[in-house]
Each structure stands twice: as structure tokens, then as C-alpha cells.
Amino acid sequence: MEKAIIGKKIGMTQIFDEAGKVIPVTVIEAGPCVVVQKKTTENDGYEAVQLGFEETEAKKLNKPETGHLAKAGDKLLKHLKEFRLDDCSKLNVGDVITADVFAAGDHVDVTGTSKGKGFAGTIKRWNAGRGPMSHGGGPVHRHAGSMGSTSSPSRIFKGKIGAGHMGVEQVTVQNLDVVQVDPELNLIAILGAVPGPKGGIVYIKNTVKNIAEKKGDAGISLNPQKASARVNPQKASARRA
């Protein structure tokens, strides 16, 4: 069954496994999330559930939002997100989803909003090359350079790289490993980096990648020449000679 939850990025830390190896993890406060709305094929044309996360004050919500949330209970939730799951029949409006829906060893995709970098030039934003540093380069070493043709087409094509606002984009990191889950504190430790700053909202869902199960260690070749070459650098044919 597909699983999904909304969380808040706490930060990064490190934990140690049984062998004493350091594992860098991102700690996420996941849930509790309330099922606010359930969409069906008969009414909406597709199946999905809308989850709500993090309680807020009534004055920070307008009347349509308050009325929408009232159908799921008395909680006023700040963040809403819709997830399309394979089997939504097991979830009903008002159900609460906690961090223990995931377990150690699960593979997940995490979606968040990347950190904002402010206004950036073409070199930092798009990894563009700079101009010549000598022989007439002038004070425009890091400028954008040529924008396009002259009389024809007499315009800049859409999609031309240029300076502008960098960051604050939706980023999804796929196939991350869940290392540890603390259901009491609603914390999930995920191996690796998660997009967004500390305190940013992230969405965790089963990975769309096909995870191939390991079938055991590779066997040793039965070819006498290959086997002997691994044991002894001298070839078997040379030893027989």
C-alpha cells in the first residue's frame, strides 16, 4: 500500500549503526496528519486524499478554509496537500496518520521547496562561462554576453538563461532510505539531504523507483583460467607450460 505524510524539516544530524558506522540523516517531524478530504472516481474523476498538517489559530484562516476543515473535525490545520494513492479506500475523513506509517528500510521520495538564494547572475544561476579576463575584456567579465541575433529574428528566444531570482523551487529527491522512526516524538530520520531550509514543509511518499531485490553474492566463475587468475596473477596456461 502506498503511504504519504506531511512533515517539517528539523535539521541534519548523525547516528551510528551497530557496526559503529556514521550515518548522516535528516530529521523530519512527520505528522500527525488528518485526512481532511477524500476524492473518489464517481465525484471527482480520480482517487486521492487530502491531508492537513500543523494546527493554527482561527484568525489566520478565512471562512471558506474554516468550513472546509470543519468537515474533518475541530482541528484548524495550516498546511494541506493532496496525494494520489493506489488504494484510498482504507482512509476516511477524520483519520489521523502518524509517523509510524513508515518503517526503517522504506524507500521514499521527499518533495520540498529549495532554499532561496536571492538575485543571482548567470554564472552562479546557470553555470555560464565568463568573458575573457584580458585583451579587451573590460569590466564585463561576469555579464551575460550576447543575447541573440540582430535583425533576424530581432528578439530573444524564450528560455534564454539570464540573471534573476535563484532558488525557491519545488525539488523532489527520489529513493531515500528511512533509517529510523520515533512514533512517540513523530520523527523520521532519512538518510541523506532533504531539500529546503530548517522549518520548511516537506512531503514524504513511497518512491516511484523500482527497487531491485538483491539475489545474493555473485558466484565464482567455474572457468579454471579465470579462477586461477584471481588467486594467482600468473595465468593457468603459463603455469602448465
Q: Is residue 238 part of a domain?
A: no
Backbone angles phi, psi at 60, to 5 degrees: -95, 0
CA distance 50 to 54: 14
User: What is the model's pLDDT at position 219?
Assistant: 60
Q: Is residue 241 part of a domain?
A: no
User: What is the model's pLDDT at position 209?
Assistant: 87
* Helical (H) or strand (E) element with 29: strand 22-30
Q: Is residue 177 part of a domain?
A: yes
**Which residue is it, cell 520548511?**
200
User: What is the model's pLDDT at position 190?
Assistant: 96
CA distance 11 to 26: 6
Residues 37 and 155 in one domain: no
Q: Are the CB atoms for 100 and 172 separated by under 8 Å?
A: no
Residues 97 and 198 in one domain: yes
CA distances from 177 to 15, 25, 49, 123, 210 (A): 14, 9, 24, 33, 14
Residues 58 and 136 in one domain: no
User: What is the model's pLDDT at position 59?
Assistant: 92
What does pTM read for this prediction?
0.81
Domain count, the chain: 2
Residues 90 and 101 in one domain: yes
Residues 94 and 182 in one domain: yes
Residues 137 and 178 in one domain: no
**CATH code, domain carrying 96:** 2.40.30.10
Q: Range of 112's domain?
A: 4-116+169-206
Please give the chain's pLDDT, 241 residues, in tens. 689 999 999 999 999 988 899 999 999 999 899 999 999 999 999 999 999 999 999 999 999 999 999 988 888 999 999 999 888 888 889 899 999 999 999 999 999 999 999 999 999 999 998 888 888 878 888 888 788 778 888 888 888 888 999 999 999 999 999 999 999 999 999 998 999 999 999 999 999 988 777 766 666 566 666 655 555 555 555 555 5
Q: Are the CB atoms for 66 and 52 separated by under 8 Å?
A: no
Q: What grid cell was written down for 240?
A: 602448465
CA distances from 129 to 80, 100, 122, 146 (A): 42, 48, 8, 12
Residues 186 and 196 in one domain: yes
Q: Is residue 211 part of a domain?
A: no
